[in-house]
């Protein structure tokens, strides 16, 4: 694939297939003392959901929250504080989450975004999941270009 001249997209010239557990270990997300948060970000159709299912399946007590649910009927990227304050912060404290985003309330969408207490890993999946406003970018442990075999 050719990237446009001047693109800020990272150039990846080597892929190494690994299993989900190896990738999570390389990221330092296994055996942490408190719940860890992993953002799986990318463009539409980039297999974020497929990768997320594989990663969540490799970690006992992992949970997944989709940015599509947080951002539903909300402005494009103005939902970061909703996710950070109402989902990520309680999960990091070991608390359960039952959150109804503003768009759900104003449009009478039933249900809630839920995460059980005492999670080992929270995976935030979706476009914008690693935006700077969430404050996760400064704590990134690694940038890895890997391909998990089932999603290659």
Query: What would the 3-class secondary structure string for 97-140 be?
Result: EEECCHHHHHCCCCCCEEECCCCCEEEEECCCCCCHHHCCHHHC
- CB crowding 99-113: b at 16 or more within 10 Å, else e: bebebbeeeeeeeeb
| pTM, 2 dp | 0.81
pLDDT band at 10 (very low <50, low <70, confident <90, very high): low
The residue that leads in pLDDT, 29 or 107, is 107
Decide: 19 and 51 in contact? Cβ < 8 Å: no
Once rounded to an integer, what is the mean pLDDT over residues 36-63? 89
pLDDT band at 3 (very low <50, low <70, confident <90, very high): low
The residue that leads in pLDDT, 79 or 7, is 79
- Per-residue pLDDT of 114-133, as tens digits, reads 999 999 999 999 988 888 77
Once rounded to an integer, what is the mean pLDDT over residues 65-75? 90
The residue that leads in pLDDT, 66 or 20, is 66
For the chain, the average pLDDT equals 82
Decide: 41 and 132 in contact? Cβ < 8 Å: no
């Amino acid at each position: 694939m050719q990237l446009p001249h001047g693109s800020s997209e990272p150039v990846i010239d080597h892929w190494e297939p690994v299993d989900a557990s190896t990738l999570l270990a390389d990221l330092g997300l296994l055996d942490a003392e408190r719940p860890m948060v992993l953002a799986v970000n990318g463009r539409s159709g980039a297999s974020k959901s497929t990768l997320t299912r594989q990663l969540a399946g490799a970690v006992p007590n992992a949970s997944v929250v989709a940015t599509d649910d947080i951002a539903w009927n909300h402005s494009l990227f103005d939902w970061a504080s909703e996710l950070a304050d109402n989902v990520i912060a309680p999960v990091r404290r070991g608390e359960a989450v039952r959150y109804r985003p503003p768009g759900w309330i104003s449009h009478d969408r039933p249900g809630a975004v839920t995460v059980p207490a005492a999670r080992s890993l929270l995976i935030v999946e979706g476009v914008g999941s690693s935006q700077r406003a969430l404050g996760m970018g400064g704590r990134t442990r690694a940038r890895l270009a890997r391909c998990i075999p089932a999603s290659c």
